[in-house]
Each structure stands twice: as C-alpha cells, then as structure tokens.
Amino acid sequence: MDFFKYQGTGNDFVLIDDRDGTFPRTNQALIEQLCHRRFGIGADGLILLQNDPDYDFRMVYFNADGAEGSMCGNGGRCIVRFAHDLGIFERETRFVAVDGAHTAVVNDADISLKMSDVSGIEDRKGLTFLNTGSPHVVRFVDDLASLDVVAEGRAIRYDAAFPGGTNVNFAQVLDNQTVYVRTYERGVEDETYSCGTGVTAVALVAQEQLDVPGPIAIQTIGGNLSVSFQAVADTTSQFTTIYLTGPAERVFAGTITI
C-alpha cells in the first residue's frame, strides 16, 4: 500500500489516497498499527481521501487508536495540502468531513481552513467546554511551560462530566493577541505538538472570557497558527466565519505491506 506522511505544526498524519475505496477502514487494529511509532509508520492519526459526488473530496479521519474520530483541524489542513499535491484543485477547495462541509485556500506554505460555526460555551464543573468539530475543555494557567499536561489533561479527559471523553487544552496569554497552547488529545491519549480544533477552541474562549481581539496568534510546541472569527452580534458564545491558518507539508512517502 502506498502512503504519504504529512504534518501541520507537528501534528502528523498518515494520508491514504482511497479514491478507489479499497482501504479496509473497519480494521481498527490495522489503523492503530500503522499509526504506531515503533511498529508502524508513526502518526497522531490516519486520514483517507475519498471521492464524493458533491465535493472535491471526502475526509475520513481516524485517531491513533484506530477508531474513527471527530473533526481534526490540523488534519483538515494536511488533507487539503495532500489534495492539492494530487492535483485535485488549484487554489480553493470545498470538501466534506464528519462535521459537514469545509472550504479551504492554499496560500504558498499556509493552508487557511474554514471551520464549522460554533454555538455554546458551557461551564461544566468549573471547566470551560465547547465543541469546535471535536469536544474541548479550555483552561487558562499562569505558567504553562512547567505544567504536567499529560497528568492533568488525562484526569479531565476521563471526568464523568464529559461522556465519551474530551480533549483538554491548557493556555497562557502571552500578550494582547498571542496565546500559548498545549493540548492533551483524546484518542492519542498523550500531549500532541499541536491541535487545530483545540487552538480554535482556545481562541474563541480567549475572545469571549478575556476579551483578546482576533485574529489571535497561537503558539504551540510544533509551530505557529492563527485563528480568525466573527462573533455573532447581540448573542453570546456564537461564532461564525472561523478560519484556522498555518503551514502543512508533506514529510515523506513510501509503501508498506499490510
């Protein structure tokens, strides 16, 4: 099987051109093995690019544990770069994922991905929760560099307040328009270098609760991203025209026997 490895701010994925529909997508053990960093290719997730009659392509995303996942923002930017590399479109594209339709624009090294509208920022047991295509908790801290993200994130990820689990983002405001973010990802069950839907969640909460103006520059372990958005007038916790922008690139390609 041919495969391609892409990364977006250190969030890395196995990309498969499955336009012929032959990949065994129900084989969770196989997908988990392909994502394993010791016994497989190694990745935070696996993404299939499939045909769709109404869009340029369909994105099907699997977590590193082999289970089909919710929307992945950095994965979305990587599959856009992959589709561009395959010649499926030139500059602008429209594709469909598990959370609905998305548009994206390729601008040199950066991919600008339109995220789903967000409605509702909740308080659950003193934790800020919202869904940006995937479920996320956002917590602001004073010294993010020294925080044990895995231990604290895992405790929240399995809290009974979040049936099905949640991703957990810890954030620190660095200046008026820059936020540093570290994320514990559900499905990976570890800290990742970056999380697209996670930094989107952080940006929206930073605007609503801390009045940080957009577009918001995001620093992650894996690199820099930007989140722009429009707050819906005369409402609270509603955002539209959300764009996640940052680099995505091919790392290598190869073949693997399955």
Same domain, 163 and 140: yes
Same domain, 151 and 52: no
Same domain, 102 and 135: no
pLDDT for res 152: 97
Same domain, 164 and 62: no
Please write the tens of the pLDDT for every residue from 29-71.
999 999 999 999 999 999 999 999 999 999 999 999 999 999 9
Domain count, the chain: 2
Same domain, 22 and 88: yes
pLDDT for res 258: 85
Q: Is 72 annotated as catalytic?
A: yes
- Which of 41, 47, 72, 171 is catalytic? The answer is 72
Torsion of CA 116, 118, 123, 128, to 10 degrees: 50
Query: Of the candidates 205, 193, 206, 139, which has an alpha carbon nearest to the alpha carbon of residue 166?
Result: 139
Q: What is the mean pLDDT of the chain?
A: 96
Q: Looking at the chain, which runs of residues are DSSP E strands?
A: 2-8, 11-17, 45-50, 57-63, 92-97, 100-107, 110-114, 118-119, 122-124, 127-131, 135-140, 167-175, 178-185, 190-192, 216-220, 223-231, 238-247, 249-255
Coil, strand or helix at 56: coil
φ, ψ at 54 (rounded to 5°):
-105, -5
Same domain, 100 and 158: no
Query: Of the candidates 137, 143, 135, 134, which has an alpha carbon nearest to the alpha carbon of residue 125?
Result: 137
- Which of 188, 195, 206, 242 is catalytic? The answer is 195
Q: CA 215, CA 228: separation in Å to the nearest integer?
A: 4
How many CA atoms are closer than 13 Å to the CA of 79, on its beta-carbon side? Answer: 33
Q: CA 25, CA 4: separation in Å to the nearest integer?
A: 17
Same domain, 11 and 71: yes
- What domain range is 137 assigned to? 118-246
φ, ψ at 154 (rounded to 5°):
-65, -40
| Residue 177 pLDDT grade (very low, low, confident, very high; cuts 50, 70, 90) | confident
Q: Is 35 annotated as catalytic?
A: no
Please write the tens of the pLDDT for every residue from 63-73.
999 999 999 99
C-beta separation of 98 from 63 below 8 A: no
Token pair belonging to 89: 């479109």
φ, ψ at 203 (rounded to 5°):
-60, -45
Same domain, 64 and 129: no
Please write the tens of the pLDDT for every residue from 207-243.
999 999 999 999 999 999 999 999 987 777 899 999 9
| Residue 250 pLDDT grade (very low, low, confident, very high; cuts 50, 70, 90) | very high
Q: What does DSSP say about strands 178-185 and 167-175: parallel, antiparallel, or unpaired?
A: antiparallel
Same domain, 129 and 241: yes
Overall average pLDDT of the 1-11 stretch: 97
Same domain, 127 and 42: no
Measured between alpha carbons, how far is residue 187 from residues 24, 61, 123 in Å? 19, 11, 23
Same domain, 100 and 128: no
Same domain, 138 and 110: no
pLDDT for res 175: 87
- Exposure string (b/e) for 169-187, b if CB count within 10 Å is 16 or more? bbbbbeeeeebbbbbbbbb
Residue 160 has pLDDT above 80, yes or no: yes
Query: Of the candidates 92, 24, 15, which has an alpha carbon nearest to the alpha carbon of residue 61?
Result: 15
* CATH number of domain containing 69: 3.10.310.10
| Residue 176 pLDDT grade (very low, low, confident, very high; cuts 50, 70, 90) | confident
Overall average pLDDT of the 86-113 stretch: 97
Residue 182 has pLDDT above 80, yes or no: yes
Q: CA 54, CA 60: separation in Å to the nearest integer?
A: 15
pLDDT for res 212: 93
